[in-house]
A and B are shown apart, each in its own frame.
Chain A
């Protein structure tokens, strides 16, 4: 059995992947048990793989092996500190989990000064663009003017330190909203592309990886019988779904 699976693993993998793809896409027609079942397979595999990967790639070689194989016994303290996370399940001592969460949050928050400096200081510097000179064409100068107008208008839109009562600030902020729409339009256009790519990726698999496998399987009689039965089942299921439920008719009557 194991040898047979090992021998036919590539084909089995492709068939399983196609089945999984159809199971998830079936939700597009309507919510169904087939979809829910595969959703649980997904959750089980994702969490199971997570446990395996974390142990095999990190805790095993970075904690267990140094402690047990290399004799660095003091790593045992890491387990004690790590166990503090699980106090969140105790109603009485849940606060202990906050100590360790606090440490991690503090470490993440402590980087704020560096992040601010490294990320935004170069941006501020780069925003000081020359309008003319240095071999700039009229087009380049115009681009810089566009940049300044949009930057200042958009920043004024986000400036909430005083009310936008003055006509100049009000209009600048309104223009900023218009310019932000260009940015959001760009994000939206790119988002459509990104999401479509993921869908195309699945279809590419179905057409170019699963398609040839179907061609091979089609040559066998059992496959034709299975497909025939599946089609009949699908038609019956669709007919049953389109029939109005009896209980509902009774209420309406």
Chain B
């Protein structure tokens, strides 16, 4: 029994412990260095937000909850940060119950840090149920009637950031931050018919499937998981900030190399076992 065959019998819990150790080091060091490479779709997202007129509202759509905070949280934070930097007003609407609390907390944290004011620079529309077919279309026709109030039941007419928003013509862009297949619905019912720019911030699992929409121009920019958020952070002048996204990108580097090594060792073991079995059965054939 050679080393590769013996490695086949390793307990899965040992592997779990090893992956935990592998990612611990970058998280302890927390390198502030951001990814040097920036994908085109991230640059395009940056350009799109940079070109939104200041008199228009940006909608940040939250479809994520606690399960994907590690990916969608940094995306939400970096998009809000850029909008605050530019002074473009935005409204956050959560289609996820718990995402409602989480996105509000991110907004509050940034509001304090960047000296902004709730209701004037941004609003949170709270949790809404997800019936996109009619809600998106209704929102485009009469934003005030469908959205009506914010998270604290304040009528939109009393919130300067959104009081002037009547129809889709007053909306400058939509940022969809999501771990599920909601992209198509925004394109079909909102961004497509009304020609409103769309920035897509999916979890990495969803990203590969979005490239046809980038190619056709139906998505104006994309942040691919937490790496996309880290790349975007670098674009808005946070190259050396010790953020969660930057630390995660290095921890991911270590984790990916470890997984590739596991695949290689696993396959070598598989080959060794196969060869040994063939040797045993075939008698040196």
Contact = CB atoms under 8 A, between A and B. Distances in A.
Whether both chains belong to one complex is answered with: yes
Interface residues of A, number: 46
Interface string B95-135: 00110100000000000000000000000001111010110
A78 interface: no
Interface string A198-229: 11111110011000000000000000000000
Contacts of A192: 256, 259
A123 interface: yes
Contacts of A29: 13
Given A196-B256, A203-B27, A190 B70 contact: no
B27 A208 contact: yes
B21 to A, nearest CB: 10
A202 B218 CA distance: 34
Contacts of A244: none
Contacts of B244: 201, 204
B133 A110 contact: yes
B252 A187 contact: no
B133 A200 contact: no
Interface stretch (B38-46, B47-55, B203-211): B203-211
B20 interface: yes
Interface residues of B, number: 60
Interface stretch (B1-9, B187-195, B231-239): B187-195
A123 B183 CA distance: 14
Chain B at the A interface: mostly helix, strand, loop or mixed?
helix
B140 interface: no
B284 interface: no
Interface string B212-236: 1101111000001111000000000
Contacts of A194: 71, 203-205, 225
A251 to B, nearest CB: 25
Interface string B5-20: 0000000010010011
A137 interface: no
B88 to A, nearest CB: 25
A53 B62 CA distance: 15
A186 interface: yes
Contacts of B208: 183, 186-187, 189-190
B204 A201 contact: no
Given A190-B207, A204-B244, A197 B225 contact: yes
Interface in A50-82: 50, 53-54, 57-58, 60-62, 65
Contact of B217 (A50, A122, A198): A122
B97 A54 contact: yes
9 closest A-B pairs by CB = A201-B70, A194-B204, A126-B216, A118-B192, A57-B127, A53-B97, A194-B205, A118-B188, A115-B188
16 contacts: A29-B13, A50-B97, A54-B97, A57-B151, A61-B153, A119-B184, A126-B212, A126-B217, A190-B207, A194-B204, A196-B23, A200-B252, A201-B70, A201-B248, A207-B27, A208-B27
Interface of A: 28-29, 46, 49-50, 53-54, 57-58, 60-62, 65, 107-108, 110-111, 114-115, 118-119, 122-123, 125-126, 183, 186-187, 189-204, 207-208
Interface of B: 13, 16, 19-20, 23-24, 27-28, 30, 67-71, 73, 97-98, 100, 126-129, 131, 133-134, 148-149, 151, 153, 184-185, 187-189, 192-193, 203-205, 207-209, 212-213, 215-218, 224-227, 244, 247-248, 251-252, 255-256, 259
